[in-house]
Chain A
Amino acid sequence: MAEPPSRAEYWKRNVRYVAILLAIWFAVSYGAGILLVEPLNRIRIGGFQLGFWFAQQGSMYVFVILIFVYVRLMNRLDRAFDVDEREGGR
């Protein structure tokens, strides 16, 4: 195998993942749940007004998904850059 890619590159990719995921985190909570709540409330899904749904339900579902997506992305990145942990925590 070629020389493992640098740790600086690993860190850059990590920061990019975090930035993208936090942008979604911001969009569903502060965006859809707070700043855009009134315009979104004109859209209805069943008994919910959409903005209200994001504020009291949707944002929380997205939060859970974001963390598990991050876990998968990072596990892959750790292996690709050969910085993952071996069994036994070493």
Chain B
Amino acid sequence: MNIQAWTFVIVGLSFALYIGVAMWARARSTGEFYVAASQVRPVVNGMATAADWMSAASFISMAGLIAFMGRDGSVYLMGWTGGYVLLALLLAPYLRKFGKYTVPDFVGDRYYSRTARVVAVVCAIFVSFTYVAGQMRGVGIVFSRFLNVPIELGVIIGMGIVFFYAVLGGMKGITYTQVAQYCVLIAAYLIPAIFISLLMTGQVIPQLGFGSTLADGSGTYLLDRLDGLTDELGFGRYTAGRKTTWDVLAITAALMVGTAGLPHVIVRFYTVRKVSAARSSAGWALLFIALLYTSAPAVAAFARTNLLTTVTDTRYADAPSWFKNWEATGLIAFEDRNGDGLIQYRGPASDVANELTIDRDIMVLANPEIARLPAWVVGLVAAGALAAALSTAAGLLLVISTSVAHDLLKKTLVPDIPEHRELLVARIAAGFAVLIAGYFGIRPPGFVAEVVALAFGLAAASFFPAIIMGIFSTRMNREGAVSGMIAGISFTAAYIIWFKFMHPELNTVTHWWLGISPEGIGAVGMLVNVAVAVAVSALTAPPPPSVQRLVQEIRVPRGAGPGHELQA
């Protein structure tokens, strides 16, 4: 069988698996729809959280980004894993004890304020839509590259699958589908990683191969060779940083705090049975995530070394077959400027003109071909990329539908809506969200990449401080929290909009405040939020005694009921 046939078979089988799991785990009540009736086991929840979190960006783009950023790529590695430590230690157990369905629920009850709830709902919906548009686009791209289907048709197929199990299954269906998707995506990531590690260094474990000597008998360490190559070709040494230390600090902090504040991640900790299970499932989640995240920088280094050694100054006519295959997709472009028939691949610091442009995404997608792996592995990588995109999309769609049906309708507009009507509204909202997401997937607004910074920044500057202060301070009141959130959001949004939309020509390190890029400004926004909240709260009346009792109550694990037993 050829690559395309294998891809059809493996992707088809994986989709059949997801649909089967979704049929088996249908939701029958709002409790099951929103939080899987809080009956999920910690290891299962950890796996589902890992799939929920790792998106098309983690699977396809991250290793490629690191391969081209070198050491600076560690902002993604530390930023997107360190947030789970914050989640486990500062958020998950207390939110589980609180036991309602959503982040706006907590914010609304803890700050006894409809305004606070609405601010939280708007942020949750904005953050989730930003993300889901990118996922649908990812689905379309994978379909078009591997199966030669038009992007539009790919997006529609993806919408159909997500619609089926998110709308029918709710959180319960999504949880068990995500477990299956995690298994597919991690196998699809690790198998090529192991083979390419063997090929380059003779080490089975990529994390060790990363620090080993090359298998070519030279006795040189892989990273030393890579440093030498990148330096010589004018890219700058791979293990040296290029961003300012302040910027690296700020971006890492914004990504960590943003991760811990993302509503689709937080809500997963409402689905377990006990407070202690919420703590341990955060540990399992990070373990499952770290399997991929510690492999990614190894894959990045292997792929970059391989690329530089096989392509640089090779005669174009003798370029390896994967080079020609991916050139056909437009992701590799060679322009023989000096007409010598050789591929000159050079960095900005070189005095030879660069003749090669490479899309970062092919570092993961082309890996199986570069490592000369069998055709079925290529099919598996396609299925893995789809699993990563679909699982994240489903989690986000659920947040959107819950926000509309539960937070807006039930808690704000129509409090006496019967449960079966609320469930129906939640399903309809999920359906609409799929359609809107699909629309953005087919016609992506040009600013998707820009708004991702905004999504993380807003999550960091709004939810995270409001929730932490709500748990760790009994004194924090409504006035403080609401003004803090508004100050944090306005500051962060203004900075990002200024540099990304109004004055993109000024978006360089010399114009940034303290050298902090828009990607990292959410960390400052968080500090603004805290400062304003503490000041305003000190000048206004303390929260009512019932709220102070609620805070005391969520600090101890005993008495965590299934869902909605604890009353404010």
List residues of chain B with CB within 8 A of the CB of A25. 82, 85
List residues of chain B with CB within 8 A of the CB of A63. 81-82, 84-85, 286, 290
Q: Determine whether A42 belongs to the interface, using a CB cutoff of 8 Å to chain B.
A: no
In the bound complex, do residue A30 and residue B239 qualify as a contact, i.e. CB atoms below 8 Å apart? no
For chain B, the bracket of interface size reads 35 or more
Chain A residue nearest to B558 in the complex (CB)? A83
In the bound complex, do residue A60 and residue B245 qualify as a contact, i.e. CB atoms below 8 Å apart? no
A64 to B66, CA, bound (A): 21
In the bound complex, do residue A85 and residue B558 qualify as a contact, i.e. CB atoms below 8 Å apart? yes
In the bound complex, do residue A57 and residue B213 qualify as a contact, i.e. CB atoms below 8 Å apart? no
In the bound complex, do residue A30 and residue B252 qualify as a contact, i.e. CB atoms below 8 Å apart? yes
Interface of chain B residues 41 through 95 with chain A (CB within 8 A): 66, 71, 73-74, 77-78, 81-82, 84-85, 88-90, 93
Interface of chain A residues 40 through 90 with chain B (CB within 8 A): 41, 45-49, 52-53, 55-57, 59-61, 63-64, 66-68, 70-71, 74-75, 78, 83-86, 89-90
Question: Which of A10, A21, A30, A55 counts the most B-chain CB atoms under 10 A from its CB?
Answer: A55
List residues of chain B with CB within 8 A of the CB of A61. 290, 294
27 CB-based A-B contacts, threshold 8 Å: A34-B249, A34-B252, A35-B245, A35-B249, A46-B211, A47-B212, A47-B223, A48-B223, A55-B78, A56-B71, A59-B82, A60-B294, A63-B84, A63-B290, A64-B283, A64-B286, A67-B84, A67-B85, A70-B279, A71-B88, A71-B279, A74-B93, A78-B557, A84-B558, A85-B275, A85-B560, A90-B561
List residues of chain A with CB within 8 A of the CB of B241. 37
A70 to B93, CA, bound (A): 11
In the bound complex, do residue A29 and residue B78 qualify as a contact, i.e. CB atoms below 8 Å apart? yes
Question: Which of A30, A60, A74 counts the most B-chain CB atoms under 10 A from its CB?
Answer: A60
Q: Determine whether B276 belongs to the interface, using a CB cutoff of 8 Å to chain A.
A: yes
Q: Determine whether B280 belongs to the interface, using a CB cutoff of 8 Å to chain A.
A: yes
List residues of chain A with CB within 8 A of the CB of B561. 89-90
A67 to B73, CA, bound (A): 24
For chain A, the bracket of interface size reads 35 or more
A30 to B82, CA, bound (A): 10
Our pick among B84, B211, B280, B552 for the contact of A71 (Cβ within 8 Å) is B280
Taken residue by residue from 271 to 294, chain B's Cβ proximity to chain A (1 for < 8 Å, 0 otherwise) reads as 001111001101100110010011
Q: Determine whether B297 belongs to the interface, using a CB cutoff of 8 Å to chain A.
A: yes
In the bound complex, do residue A55 and residue B88 qualify as a contact, i.e. CB atoms below 8 Å apart? no
Known interface pairs A7-B552, A29-B82, A47-B222; A90-B559 also in contact (CB < 8 Å) = yes
A18 to B555, CA, bound (A): 13
CB distance from A83 to the nearest CB of B (A): 4
Interface of chain B residues 209 through 224 with chain A (CB within 8 A): 210-213, 221-224
